[in-house]
Amino acid sequence: MSSIEERVRSTLETLAGAPDEPPVDGPDRAAARARRRRIRRVTVVSFATIALAAVATVGALTVDGDDGVDVELTDTSVGTSRRPNPSPTAAAVSITGAPGQIFVQPVTGCGEWRDTVTGALLGTLEAVLGDCDARPFAVGPGGELWYSTGVDDEVAIWAKGPGQTPVMVVAGTGTAAISPNGRFLAYAIGADRDAIVVRDLAGEQSERAWSGLPVPAEARWSSLVHDLAWSPDGSQLALAYRFGFENEEGEVRVLDLDQDSSLAEATLLPGELEAPQWSADGSLLATRVDRDGDLTREVVRFDDIEGPPAADDRFGRVPVVWVSGDRTAQFLVGSTEMGELYALQPEEARRLPVEGTFVAW
Amino acid sequence: VGVPDDIGGAGAASADRAEVGDDDFGRLYRAQYPQLVGLARLLLRDPAGAHDAVQEAFVRAYAARRRIRADGAVAYVRAAVVNECRGGLRRRVRWSRRAAPAEVAPMPPEEHLLLDEERRTLAIAIAGLPRRQRECVVLRYWLDLSEAEIASTLRISTGAVKTHAHRALTALERALEALR
């Protein structure tokens, strides 16, 4: 009897059918359509150029996309010399709780910490945890590394202090996030991971819970809440959840933690949004937005959520990270589907100092 | 199913960091189109939509050809096809949600005729897999991609690829067991 792999392979070959020849006018047609599309994208390209020019002026993380994934780290506090790509196969770059360090997640292999100035390798995830598949998401005020293991709705949350053995803090959740002051842990619970608990990590570890997420009847996703993001002042929690056939549709709500309201009453952001990231002053929320199947990234002005986005980026397709470059400016960092890293400065983003040593990933 | 990673010319091989020229693009199009339509057909289960997705992916690739390294062109277009298929599914779901309650798409009649009972069961089970699991299965067993290549295409870790593929095969085995 054939193995399951062979049966799957055979079934797929039948389903795929006989090879189709490309339309004879294909390349020309593609070229013509591409030319039309280029014209439509002029304004976007111009915006990106302006944004990158602004980055170069004030310093932060800049990108040379000519070589696919080249990224240069610049910082006006130490000069603007060009430095090498910290990781030629970087898929994502994050900032850590430690000043001067950047966490790079390669496409394959272990994540690693590098010096933001020199690009020098400072350590690897494997050396710290002995596990490449763990996903770090925060560095606590005491230097403890917070990370998750597992997938879907069976995620475990761990904490490991310097020189200590890892401790499992929560098991069987969908996602979790640490508050900016490191005191509270928010995570998803419930059979569908459709409720939120905030645990006070100090003292008696008390908990508060919120439920009532308006979930459509046809929801099939194993973990409905898949992203949590604390506002910088710790008073609000943005939660992204998905639902529906193929689990591709989602929304973002912002829960005011001072209120005992249900999640159904939490502020619903327009559009189909996911992966929210707050700016340092809490006035902007960067998200992925699905507009009729076309994924873009936008920066929502939180004090005017119905208004136009502060910035948009049609090319980004991965979660975004706010980076405080020279500690006075804020930038979005992301990568395209092919791993090109770049920075984007939202229009009118206010220049604010970044305080403390804890910064969410 | 083999995937030629060279886009079709000696020039490409000798200048692997060069951009993709118009001639290279034409060769890439002719060499990869049939297989990518098969990929899109498996992800979308919609023959007409599959052609549209591949055409659109090539349009994107053409527009970006000066940013693409010659040795990465196949991977670029492949990733673009996967993204187009995701977009196509979202649009289809959105339309079905407006028109009628969402349902799992029924098996197209031509597929029903082509498949014996076991393969029919597998086809339905594959269609019912979560998106990432289905993508991993198709990329692994249709395109014969390595875990690293799948990870690169889907922008996930190789560990996640292993997890999704393992879960998918477990689910498919259960579907076959239920048939017996």
Q: In this complex, is the C-beta atom of B21 within 8 Å of any C-beta atom belonging to chain A?
A: no
Asked whether the predicted pLDDT for residue A136 surpasses 50, the reply is yes
Q: Assign residue A70 a region (left: φ > 0; alpha: ψ between -120 and 50; beta: otherwise).
A: beta
Output the pLDDT for position A301: 67
Output the pLDDT for position B137: 94
**Nearest CA to CA, how far is B27 from chain A (Å)?**
9
Q: In this complex, is the C-beta atom of B74 within 8 Å of any C-beta atom belonging to chain A?
A: no
Report percent pLDDT > 90 for chain B: 11
Tell which wins on pLDDT, A75 or A196.
Answer: A196
Report percent pLDDT > 90 for chain A: 6
Output the pLDDT for position A242: 72
**Nearest CA to CA, how far is B157 from chain A (Å)?**
6
Specify the DSSP element, H or E, that contains A71.
strand A71-73
Q: In this complex, is the C-beta atom of B122 within 8 Å of any C-beta atom belonging to chain A?
A: yes
**Chain B residue with minimum CA distance to A35:** B63
| Cβ contact A22–B29 (<8 Å) | yes
Output the pLDDT for position A217: 55
Band (A198; pLDDT cuts 50, 70, 90): very high
**Nearest CA to CA, how far is A293 from chain B (Å)?**
5
Average of per-residue pLDDT across B40-48: 83
| Cβ contact A11–B29 (<8 Å) | no
Look over chain A and give the mean of its residue pLDDT values, rounded to a whole number. 61
| Cβ contact B39–A218 (<8 Å) | no
Output the pLDDT for position A274: 65
Q: In this complex, is the C-beta atom of B100 within 8 Å of any C-beta atom belonging to chain A?
A: no
pLDDT in tens, A317-344: 444 445 443 322 334 444 444 333 444 4
A318: chain B residues, CB-CB within 8 Å: 155
Q: Are A322 and A277 in contact (CB under 8 A)?
A: yes
Helix (H/G/I), strand (E/B), else coil: B178: helix
CB-based contacts of A9: which residues, under 8 Å, 6+ apart? B141, B142
Output the pLDDT for position B3: 25
- Give this prediction's pTM: 0.50
Average of per-residue pLDDT across A55-60: 26
**Chain A residue with minimum CA distance to B73:** A338
CB-based contacts of B42: which residues, under 8 Å, 6+ apart? A12, A15, A16, B138, B142
ipTM of this complex prediction, to 2 decimal places: 0.79
Taking Cα atoms as reference points, which of A112, A47, A116 lies closest to residue A76? A116
Average of per-residue pLDDT across B17-32: 74
Indicate the range of A47-61, A225-239, A258-272, B40-54 predicted with least confidence.
A47-61
Tell which wins on pLDDT, B118 or A354.
Answer: B118
Tell which wins on pLDDT, A202 or A111.
Answer: A202
Tell which wins on pLDDT, A124 or A20.
Answer: A124
Q: Could you tell me the sign of the dihedral formed by the alpha carbons of B18, B22, B23, B27, in that order?
A: positive
A247: chain B residues, CB-CB within 8 Å: 130-131
Specify which of A33-47, A118-132, A241-255 reaches the highest per-range mean pLDDT: A118-132
Asked whether the predicted pLDDT for residue A120 surpasses 50, the reply is yes
Indicate the range of A29-43, A171-185, A280-294, B88-102 predicted with least confidence.
A29-43
Asked whether the predicted pLDDT for residue B49 surpasses 60, the reply is yes
User: How many beta carbons lie within 10 A of that of residue A185, not counting itself?
Assistant: 25
Average of per-residue pLDDT across B14-40: 75
Interface test with A, best of B23, B65, B142, B169 (most A CBs within 10 A): B142
Average of per-residue pLDDT across A74-103: 42
